[in-house]
Chains A and B, each alone.
Chain A
Amino acid sequence: MARANNPGALIMSGYGLNSEMETAEALMRAGMASDIVHINDLIAGEKTLSDYRLMVFPGGFSYGDDTGAGNAYANRVRNNLWSDVKEFLAGDNLVLGICNGFQILANLGLVPAFDRDRPREIALMPNRKGVLECRFVTLKPAADNLWTKGISHLYCPVSHGEGNFSCSEETLKRIEREGMVAFRYSRDDLSPAGGEYPYNPNGALADIAGVTSADGKVLGLMPHPERAMEFVNLYDWPVRKERLKREKKPLPTESMNMQFFRNIVEYFGK
């Protein structure tokens, strides 16, 4: 576990990242305390990455998506914190990037990271429709790993202008072969979205919504499970509630998306 009295998770903030508070809340509900740390405080050495076990790049609009979503923030990390990050990755630690965080990870080459050079090999291009898309999507796990354990599906919002997963055919083959696709966009019945809008909301190659690094310790995910932690956050909760009521079943308070955060906490509790 993290050093005594220290929270286990470091959640990055600053320059337009904006989902740090709800991400901290989700982790807290799953049993893990977080520090929200401005990137400049890491650069200035006021906080130290190696004090933590989980590093999270949360959602947001860092640098207003200028020069490509996540690109400018990734440059700031690479130009100032690169050795710390590499050292962190070498340890028994996890890195999670959600939405803008995934875009940052992709630009940093932390996913797919087939080798230690970590070149950029995947891109999250502008959505096919060319505008931001905010809507609930259904995600089906595509691999059996620490992130997807016990999850039958997630149902949570996407909200991004650039989530259109793209890479070379060769990279795709390798990602798929090595079981690095963590989640895919799917239809309500969990059959493949097949690229069809709105099930696949952005045109992502092979319906890919989330990938891990080759070593499995880094996950990038476009949709936002932290924005639908509770039953009442789900798009269709009113009709679910009415059905449960008539079946005289109890109403849940949590949503299925919390399992995602529990998995992270359980990994460290092992």
Chain B
Amino acid sequence: MASYVHRIEVQYSRDPRLPTRTERFRSLGFPLRELHLVDVYTIATAQRDFSPEELSQIGAQLSNPVVQRYSVDQPTEAEFDYAIEVGFLPGVTDNAGTTARQTIEDYFGFRFGEGEAVFSSQLYLVCGDLTPESLERLTAALANPLVNRVHVRSREEYAGKGMDAITPFVHLHDLQAAGTVDLDLPDAELARIGKEGILDPATGERRGPLALDLAQLHAIRDYFRRLGRKPTDVELESLAQTWSEHCKHTIFASAMDDDVPRGLYKTCIQAATNTVREAKGDDDICVSVFTDNSGAIVFDDENLVTCKVETHNSPSALDPFGGALTGIVGVNRDTIGFGLGAKPCINIYGYCVGDPDTEPALFRGKNRTNPILPPRRIFEGVVRGVDVGGNCSGIPTPQGWCYFHDRYVGKPLVFAGTVGVMPRANNGRPLHEKQALPGDLIVMVGGRVGKDGIHGATFSSEALDPASPVTAVQIGDPITQKKFSDVIVKEARDLDLYRSITDNGAGGISCSVAEMARESGGCHVLLDRVPLKYPGMAPWEIWISESQERMTLAVPEEKIEAFMNLMKRREVEATVIGTFTDTGRCVVEYGGETVMDVDLDFLHDGLPKKHLLTEPVKTAYPEPDVPCPDRLDDLLLAMLKRKNICSKEFISTRYDHTVQGGHVLGPVQGAGRVQTCATLTKVVPGSMKGVGLSQGLFPMYSELDPYRMALAAIDAAVRGLIAIGVPMDTIALLDNFCWCSSDEPGRLWQLKRAAFGCYDGAVGFETPYISGKDSMFNDFSGFDADSNPVKVSVPPTLLITSIGVHPDVMTAVSMDAKFDGDLVYVVGETGEELGGSEYLAHLGIEGGAVPSLDIETAKVRYGRMTDAITKGLLASAFPVTHGGLLVALAKVAIAGRVGMDLAVPGGMRPDTYLLSESLGRLIVTVAPGDREAFEEIFGSDAHLIGRVGGETFRVSAGERTLIEQAVTAMETAYKAPFGGY
């Protein structure tokens, strides 16, 4: 126990953020005059105390005398009404505390030992007359009870003594051993183990859900009957991890109805890739698909690029900041863990959240207990999570989007993706292949293991208890990860110091080691060797903990010394925790006893097969019947202000999109700074090639026509790349299904239709899938304010991400209209397809025809686009998506800060023509001198609808003026909704 505790408080003399911070909280409805912030470091040591002089030296090390002052064991003096201190709960990652500790260690030349630490906290000094309710609301806005501890004092209580020095150490007393679990039980009791977890003999409580169903539990029971013994808790927890939906994707793998005997993944996703690769023959772009942590395609003769997109939905609902942060740094590890280690070079994000201007009254418990976080809190939290994760890791984050809908209030969707780059070979060794061999040592590098994330993906009430000593929620530590990422990808890999590597994600080492053990044919793990954050963890906890920032490597014995030495020099903790074998078994030892001994075959392939049945859902909606307004000016401005259409530029400027020096076409473009669909980044300095990224997502089409929804997502993702000049034949796709209620036959039918759409779209465009991920139960079950049960399910959501290689970024085309006199064309055909559109959502109408896709025609058109861009005939290009032509044209004009004079053709209602979301279309502008050459390429597929010029956006139909708006007014509308963020 720490015997010496000191508190250092650091404050800005004049805090530059004070006005912004105060204004932000005032805008949230708190009657504050000022909100000051003090950084607090609580230093707890046992082996030595610090003298007053030493404490002053520490204060000087932790502050900047030019603009800050510090106090040692003295409360900060200031004028205020309330003091609110926000610190971390025991066991929560405290990065600032760790940095402060390292600084002190370095300064005094000694090391903190067990039971010694520095804890950071933030002291808010509030000036303002707050009611008790208001103070409570403010406290709730500053802290998350899942990760934070909060202490509040009034001015009077604070006077003289300040705040208490609190040291949130983790105390776990009992050293725990492995136990056995009896599965020879009646089915009802067995099912309870699956649902609620193993009954802990010490506490008498269930340990949390295994998420094993009865058939799976029977298979496990029968397996151990054959072995003639009972399983240990380590074995059962381990099987539950390996067999989880998260790891095995049982819904995509299971047979479905009569027509999908091999399951949706093999029938639709993998088959599409196989078909495309075969058809392309020598032009196949795939290097590695589906089997590794990321997928990979050819970049050039020397390099390949990888891509992976993950979701982190459940954690983000509980702790949006921590959830999104661990989401992005987690998917970075899927890059570092690809092949022998690719360098992360581009991050991708995507957020589906509730409308941040609403505060729905939804609760996890009855009687208004345990409320959900308000959408704005979730939105701002996830934005900040990727901000910290991406920025601190030195990876640019140009590509992303936000989508708002009320059905995401209970469970937000947080997509996080990463592109990596690596040489195809090093000294003749292909870097995308890896193989642990028998005898190789199992090495864990990175952070230590704590109770983080054990059964963390479940919303059990236990996990939500703020008094819980150790949290289930994880906060990432990007700098620890950056340290091992650098040493692995920039040094150890090219020194050939290891034979295989993988990420520790879901299931921790239980999954990563068992997965790598397939390469060698077995493993033998010594669990005692795993470095822990604090003593007292049970073996099953160590085995399945999801503590962040860890990788597992296979290091040949003859290289272990060099490997460990390098890690030490880079201050990266690395530990040998066992040996890869060829015994065909996964063996785990703890305290000299074998606590797990299971056949690898059973571990990986023993789970019983399922056969899923679906039931068609036909939703018949009438075609909308609303008159067309005479003028569309108000409609234009209203559409530009819609949250799914307007600018969210505050995210783009917060996310570093220029680090690594590859910025070509960024997240905002043009003088008017409009957010784009696709981005282009150079990832190899000497090459003029670039990586294009785009995405497509149409959740509002799903309930109407899931097949067409999938085609729309694919088309939008592909078309985004086409618009900047990435050719079709370099494009690969990634699929992320975020479904709801996937145990209901209707939802499964929608899933099947969407998967069929995925097959047809990818095969039609000849764009293979290289990686994918699914998350099948994005449902919130809780209560409304009157304690009535409520279920809120996300709309079936499919994100398609496209990645392609631009042959010469110098020919790339941006979205902004450029010069007066340029011609404006719509390329492609517009149909009466308003179903699921932003226009009908604006009118509050559900229904209508979802856009269909003629892939063959689109493919010919996209080939012509590439031809025109290569020839330099386009001044700008932009795909038409959410909000139709009207929104696309407006964005092109706003981006260029130039007017347009446009005429809509006859034959269709002007509002239908302007707001239909027909697929396959692009807006392009062309210099008058290039008209002939341009029209020769496109023929009748390009429709000239007007010219660029002036400062007004004018649209007419025959003699009738529909719109006449200053572009500046449009820009103001486009940027208004999130102007205060």
Interface residues of A (CB under 8 A from B): 13-16, 18-19, 21-22, 25-26, 38, 40-41, 44, 59-61, 63-68, 71-72, 75-76, 79-80, 107, 119-123, 125-135, 157, 159, 161, 164, 166-168, 203, 224, 226-233, 235-239, 241-243, 245-246, 251
Q: A15-B483, A66-B95, A129-B20 are in contact. Are A246 and B810 (CB under 8 A)?
A: no
Shortest Cβ distance from A202 into B: residue: B16
**Can you report 7 residue pairs joining A to B where beta carbons are below 8 Å apart?**
A68-B62, A119-B65, A123-B66, A232-B812, A237-B664, A238-B818, A239-B818
Of B386-394, B740-748, B827-835, B841-849, the one touching chain A: B386-394
Whole-angstrom distance between the Cβ of B326 and the nearest chain A Cβ: 15
Shortest Cβ distance from A125 into B: residue: B16
Residue among A16, A120, A128, A233 making CB contact with B64, cutoff 8 Å: A120
Whole-angstrom distance between the Cβ of B482 and the nearest chain A Cβ: 5
B12 CB–A CB distance under 8 Å:
yes
Name B's interface SS: mixed
- Residues of B within 8 Å of A131, CB to CB, are 387, 654
A133/B653 in contact, CB under 8 A? yes
- Residues of B within 8 Å of A231, CB to CB, are 810
For the complex of A and B, the 5 pairs showing the least CB-CB separation, nearest first, are A18-B394, A22-B661, A66-B99, A238-B814, A123-B66
- Residues of A within 8 Å of B106, CB to CB, are 75-76, 79-80
- Residues of A within 8 Å of B478, CB to CB, are 16, 61, 64
Residue among A19, A68, A161 making CB contact with B63, cutoff 8 Å: A68
A15/B66 in contact, CB under 8 A? no
CB contacts under 8 Å to A, within B649-689, are 652-666, 669-671, 682, 685
Whole-angstrom distance between the Cβ of B216 and the nearest chain A Cβ: 42
Q: A38-B569, A242-B818 are in contact. Are A19 and B486 (CB under 8 A)?
A: no
Q: A25-B685, A122-B66, A125-B12 are in contact. Are A159 and B656 (CB under 8 A)?
A: yes
Residue among B67, B662, B663, B812 making CB contact with A166, cutoff 8 Å: B67
Expressed in whole angstroms, the Cα–Cα distance for A157 and B814 within the complex equals: 19
- Residues of A within 8 Å of B569, CB to CB, are 38, 40-41, 44
- Residues of B within 8 Å of A76, CB to CB, are 103, 106
Name A's interface SS: mixed
A59/B64 in contact, CB under 8 A? no
Q: A126-B17, A129-B20, A134-B657 are in contact. Are A67 and B663 (CB under 8 A)?
A: no
Expressed in whole angstroms, the Cα–Cα distance for A236 and B657 within the complex equals: 15
A235/B99 in contact, CB under 8 A? no
Interface residues of B (CB under 8 A from A): 12, 15-17, 19-21, 39, 61-68, 95-96, 98-100, 102-103, 106-107, 120, 387-388, 391-394, 478-479, 482-483, 486, 569-571, 652-666, 669-671, 682, 685, 809-810, 812-814, 816, 818-819, 872, 875-876, 896, 927, 929
B654/A72 in contact, CB under 8 A? no
Residue among B388, B479, B570, B658 making CB contact with A63, cutoff 8 Å: B479
Expressed in whole angstroms, the Cα–Cα distance for A157 and B120 within the complex equals: 32
- Residues of B within 8 Å of A224, CB to CB, are 658
Expressed in whole angstroms, the Cα–Cα distance for A186 and B479 within the complex equals: 34
Given contacts A107-B64, A235-B666, A242-B875, 19 further A-B contacts (CB under 8 A): A15-B479, A16-B394, A16-B482, A18-B394, A19-B394, A26-B661, A38-B569, A40-B569, A61-B482, A71-B61, A71-B62, A120-B64, A125-B67, A133-B653, A134-B653, A134-B654, A230-B682, A238-B669, A243-B818
- Residues of B within 8 Å of A161, CB to CB, are 391
Shortest Cβ distance from A41 into B: residue: B569
Residue among B17, B65, B658 making CB contact with A159, cutoff 8 Å: B658
Q: A38-B570, A128-B20, A159-B656 are in contact. Are A228 and B663 (CB under 8 A)?
A: yes
Whole-angstrom distance between the Cβ of B2 and the nearest chain A Cβ: 21
Whole-angstrom distance between the Cβ of A162 and the nearest chain B Cβ: 9
Expressed in whole angstroms, the Cα–Cα distance for A40 and B20 within the complex equals: 39
A130/B661 in contact, CB under 8 A? no
Expressed in whole angstroms, the Cα–Cα distance for A213 and B871 within the complex equals: 50
A233/B663 in contact, CB under 8 A? yes
Residue among A18, A122, A230 making CB contact with B659, cutoff 8 Å: A18
- Residues of A within 8 Å of B664, CB to CB, are 232-233, 237
Shortest Cβ distance from B482 into A: residue: A16
Expressed in whole angstroms, the Cα–Cα distance for A181 and B158 within the complex equals: 44
A71/B64 in contact, CB under 8 A? yes
B819/A238 in contact, CB under 8 A? no
- Residues of B within 8 Å of A26, CB to CB, are 661
Shortest Cβ distance from B568 into A: residue: A40
Shortest Cβ distance from A17 into B: residue: B394
Shortest Cβ distance from B811 into A: residue: A241
Shortest Cβ distance from A13 into B: residue: B486
- Residues of B within 8 Å of A75, CB to CB, are 61, 103, 106-107
- Residues of B within 8 Å of A235, CB to CB, are 663, 666
Expressed in whole angstroms, the Cα–Cα distance for A15 and B661 within the complex equals: 20
Whole-angstrom distance between the Cβ of B71 and the nearest chain A Cβ: 16
B658/A134 in contact, CB under 8 A? yes
Q: Quick one: which of B66, B569, B819 has the most chain A CB within 10 A?
A: B66
Shortest Cβ distance from A134 into B: residue: B656
Expressed in whole angstroms, the Cα–Cα distance for A249 and B742 within the complex equals: 60
B20/A130 in contact, CB under 8 A? yes
Expressed in whole angstroms, the Cα–Cα distance for A18 and B61 within the complex equals: 23
- Residues of B within 8 Å of A65, CB to CB, are 392
- Residues of A within 8 Å of B19, CB to CB, are 128
B658/A228 in contact, CB under 8 A? yes
- Residues of A within 8 Å of B654, CB to CB, are 131-134
Expressed in whole angstroms, the Cα–Cα distance for A15 and B927 within the complex equals: 50
B810/A251 in contact, CB under 8 A? yes
B64/A68 in contact, CB under 8 A? yes
- Residues of A within 8 Å of B12, CB to CB, are 125
Shortest Cβ distance from B657 into A: residue: A134
Q: Quick one: which of A224, A230, A246 has the most chain B CB within 10 A?
A: A230
Whole-angstrom distance between the Cβ of A244 and the nearest chain B Cβ: 12
- Residues of A within 8 Å of B479, CB to CB, are 15-16, 61, 63-64
- Residues of B within 8 Å of A227, CB to CB, are 658-661, 663
- Residues of B within 8 Å of A134, CB to CB, are 652-658
Shortest Cβ distance from B97 into A: residue: A66
A203/B16 in contact, CB under 8 A? yes
Expressed in whole angstroms, the Cα–Cα distance for A72 and B61 within the complex equals: 8
B16/A126 in contact, CB under 8 A? yes
- Residues of B within 8 Å of A167, CB to CB, are 66
Shortest Cβ distance from A44 into B: residue: B569
Expressed in whole angstroms, the Cα–Cα distance for A21 and B65 within the complex equals: 33
Expressed in whole angstroms, the Cα–Cα distance for A241 and B725 within the complex equals: 15
A72/B809 in contact, CB under 8 A? no
B99/A67 in contact, CB under 8 A? yes
B816/A120 in contact, CB under 8 A? no
Shortest Cβ distance from B21 into A: residue: A130
- Residues of A within 8 Å of B20, CB to CB, are 128-130
- Residues of A within 8 Å of B896, CB to CB, are 239
A72/B658 in contact, CB under 8 A? no
Shortest Cβ distance from A204 into B: residue: B16
A132/B666 in contact, CB under 8 A? no
Shortest Cβ distance from A18 into B: residue: B394
A64/B99 in contact, CB under 8 A? yes
A19/B482 in contact, CB under 8 A? no
Expressed in whole angstroms, the Cα–Cα distance for A224 and B68 within the complex equals: 27
A229/B661 in contact, CB under 8 A? yes
Expressed in whole angstroms, the Cα–Cα distance for A42 and B19 within the complex equals: 42
Whole-angstrom distance between the Cβ of A163 and the nearest chain B Cβ: 11
Expressed in whole angstroms, the Cα–Cα distance for A159 and B657 within the complex equals: 8
A67/B656 in contact, CB under 8 A? no
A67/B100 in contact, CB under 8 A? yes
